[in-house]
Amino acid sequence: MENLAFYVFSSLAVISAIYVVASQRPVYGVLALVLTMFALSGLFVLLDAHFLAMIQVLIYAGAILVLFLFILMLLGSETSDENGGREWKDKLKRIVKLVLGFAFLSELLIFVAGSKFLSLSHSGNIRGTIEAIGKALLGEYILPFELVSIVLLVGVIGVVGLLKREKMV
């Protein structure tokens, strides 16, 4: 059962990440990125890193990506389709939506059916605890931790810059 959950979460993460890159509408890309973050959170749960799984959902999917979505919607990033209605493009979108929907439902069913993955019992190790993560982040990984904040700031500035330029054209 654990192997099945791993394959479902990892394939959902890869498929939705590909959709993030291939999406022509930024809002759909951000929503697919939220789905990617949820799938990665499921992988963290399988690794018994429950704190990282919750941080993944709360911080990335719940705060940062919602901020990106808010910025995109505030600046009006939805562009009209200038090429008209392509039937093959619509069929491809339907197929991608069905695959992602099926993956999301199967992920939900695995969580409901296999509630043993959600148990917080540990075998005495401190791997994945708040203390171990805090020591690692503020100790040997302080430079990458601070660089991530700079990358996120550059991402927000880049989104605003791209949308302002797109709106002016």
pLDDT digits (tens, 9 = 90+) for 110-147: 766 664 444 444 444 556 677 777 788 788 888 877 88
Give the domain range for residue 115.
2-126
Lowest mean pLDDT among 57-61, 73-77, 161-165: 73-77
The 3-class secondary structure across 127-143, one letter per residue, is CCCHHHHHHHHCCCCHH
Element (H or E) spanning 114, and its range?
none
pLDDT bracket for residue 169 (50, 70, 90): low
CATH number at 27 reads 1.20.120.1200
Lowest mean pLDDT among 100-104, 147-151, 164-168: 164-168
Residue 88 lies in a domain: yes
Residue 159 lies in a domain: no
**Residue 124 Ramachandran class (φ > 0 left, ψ -120 to 50 alpha, else beta):** left
pLDDT bracket for residue 80 (50, 70, 90): very low
Residue 43 lies in a domain: yes
DSSP state of 60: I
Q: Give the pLDDT of residue 31.
A: 83
Residue 15 lies in a domain: yes
The set of residues, in sequence order, having a beta carbon less than 8 Å from that of 103 and lying 6+ positions away, is 8, 11, 12, 15, 16
Element (H or E) spanning 32, and its range?
helix 26-46
- CB count, 10 Å around CB of 118? 11
Tell me: the pLDDT tens digits for 10-34? 999 999 999 988 888 877 888 888 8
Distances (CA, A) of 15 to 25, 57, 147: 17, 18, 27
pLDDT of residue 9 exceeding 90, the answer is: yes
How many domains would you assign to the chain?
A: 1
